[in-house]
Structure 1
């Protein structure tokens, strides 16, 4: 099923949740619809998933950023060396700068999703070590190494995503976040099941305990 179809189904699912929570509040209904739509795309963050390329940083941008930071560190170290000589701090930052320059030459597009996850985790540290954002980054990193329609399309993936929503909601409470997000994610799994005639493949809901496709 196409990503746009999952987004529409997730929006409808989230909207229904919002209506059940507060049928007279259009903000709750629309917010839940947006949450459901976004959540319905999350399972496809795995390798070759439709959503992975949409959130992945471009290879050229990341190479440019690595070059900029790497050269900036090396230039700053030169000035620092003139003032203080060689120190452990200078050696550390020199190593980081050189590593960035080397890694930027060998980086592959398929690993950009991994780097995107690392960037999300870095944002989590900046935001007072937000557990929810850190978990979201870890989800992206894990998904970047998984084949399509594997663990992100299972009960394990759904449970992990709900766990992420729970911690995000603790820090930034939003009406319907957990329920609408979980329902939106679940709608993706249901829409990808073989019970629908449009799907040639199903999903392994109970992987790794049971690898039967549903």
Structure 2
């Protein structure tokens, strides 16, 4: 199922869940947004809509690293021809080459890892926000997982619920928890094998039981 379809189903599920908590327009709208966003979270384990939207641009990062690397090498060459050889030239030349070489091996998945680390850092900076810190750790973990593994299981849902519980306390929005759970769960249900459009199912009980349902 496409990310846009998951988002639409999650938004509807989030709106319904939010309405059960507080039947007013503001709660329903915010809960719908939370549900739609949460429905995309399980697919952070692949290069889908969610991961591509939040990930730092791979091309920009490659360009920046190559620009810095070449800049260092040019500066070293200028220093060599103006002041002669010094031992530090070897060190800085190595750093410049490292920037250039590493930029050639950057993948979209590792950019997602970097994005997660930055979110974790943001959680530390923002008055020690445990919720944001946990959200960043989820992104980092998901960036190393194969598609439809732990993020598509009750274990992933439980971890996300733990994140939501902290965010709800920190942001004081009562419907956030139930809307997020509804959105995330809607993704897992929509990916189940019992639906005719899905060739693969969901490993609800991974890692204890890896049968796709």
With normalisation by structure 2, the TM-score equals 0.81
SS in 1 for 2:199: coil
Q: 1:210 to 1:44 in 2, by over 3 A?
A: same
After superposition, the C-alpha distances for 1:127-184 in whole angstroms (9 at most, x for unaligned) are 1221111111110110001111110000000000010111112211112000110111
Contact 2:47 2:108 in 1 (8 A): no
Q: How far apart are residue 118 of structure 1 and its match?
A: 1.0
After TM superposition, give the deviation of residue 102 of structure 1 in Å.
Answer: 6.1
- Whether 1:180 aligns to 2:179 is yes
Distance 1:169 1:67, change over 3 A: farther
When the two structures are aligned, how many residues end up with a matched partner?
191
Distance in 2, matches of 1:184 and 1:133, equals 18
Instruction: Tell me what 2:22 maps to.
Output: 22
Distance across 2 between alignment mates of 1:45 and 1:55: 10
Structure 2 unmatched runs, 5+? 76-91
Residues 1:125 and 1:102: Cα distance change in structure 2 (over 3 Å): farther
Residue 141 in structure 1 maps to residue 140 in structure 2: yes
Residue 191 and residue 64 in structure 1: after superposition, are their counterparts in 2 closer, same or farther (change >3 A)?
same
Q: Secondary structure at the match of 1:51?
A: helix
The equivalent of 1:207 in structure 2 is: 206
| SS in structure 1 of the partner of residue 206 of structure 2 | coil
Q: Quick check: which has more Rg, 1 or 2?
A: 2
Following superposition, the deviation at residue 107 of structure 1 comes to 2.3
Tell me if structure 2 keeps the 8 A contact 1:47–1:147: yes
Alignment RMSD: 2.3
How far off its partner does 1:101 sit?
Answer: 6.6
Structure 1 runs (4+) deviating above 3 angstroms are 63-72, 97-106
Aligned-residue offset at 1:65: 5.0
Partner of 2:52: 53
Distance 1:42 1:204 in 2: 16
Q: Residues 84-105 of structure 1, C-alpha deviation per residue, up to 9 Å, x if partnerless?
A: xxxxxxxxxx9xx877676445
C-alpha deviation, 1:42, in angstroms: 0.3
Q: How does 1:101-116 map to 2 (within 5 A)?
A: 103-116=102-115
Partner residue, 1:151: 150
1:119 matched to which residue of 2? 118
TM value normalised by structure 1: 0.80
Q: Distance in 1 between matches of 2:22 and 2:174?
A: 9
